[in-house]
Structure 1
């Protein structure tokens, strides 16, 4: 019991430290973009809204060429993804080096099946293309197949996703 209490205390302390770090970046014009993209990654929708209100461009890239939407997708942050899309984020943006799109970032990262399902549906509903390849030549369908092998999504999800990936596909 004492160990659980210690772990919870440590988790709360870490969350507070991350929150303070991100809030400090709002005040630093030269670090504002880092704060914006990291807030998206950590699911801090309140801070993402603050950065947008401060004039950060929704599709601005960090030093690695990643947009906030790519990082939110990688982190499985569905609420942040929705906000960024509503603000006009490009659902088909590809990182220059890795060629990762938001859809590829979502499927490349480890999430629960519900995150995959909801995130894929959100991105496709807003026009995400399923055919772009990352720098290793993998498409979104390839990544979905790898998640089946890992037991993270089921065959029905893949079949529906593949159907959606076809030009005349239906919604998931």
Structure 2
């Protein structure tokens, strides 16, 4: 069994059709064992980067970005879904994603230039989805000041946890 066949067997059914199309377009490289190994390595590299937690430096960068946006956030009259500091270990990314989605609402409503909110968008895209976590809409809506304080508390808790 070749490396490409192993990858095809491990893919979900809806992705197999795309993989078969890829396999058909790559008939020239199928004969080379080195190409198959590199292709397998490349695919596994992409799969592994999709499921990473944010690093300490990313959380610190987010904290810095938030301090630059503090006036915009506190000035906002938006009511935002605010996750609590007590969260399950498996739902950390989902909670951060909820915060990022609500921050994007503020960025849009306050008409904050993309250059100032760019890190928020980037950070949100780097978070992998998690299964079994409550949706953002299940959290209590709070005003923007309470939301901001809660987000800062969550980030501090994550930093303490990751640094120890």
- TM-score, scaled to structure 2: 0.25
Structure (1 or 2) with the larger CA radius of gyration: 2
Indicate the structure whose relative CO is greater, using CA pairs within 8 Å and at least 6 residues apart: 2
Higher fraction of helix = 2
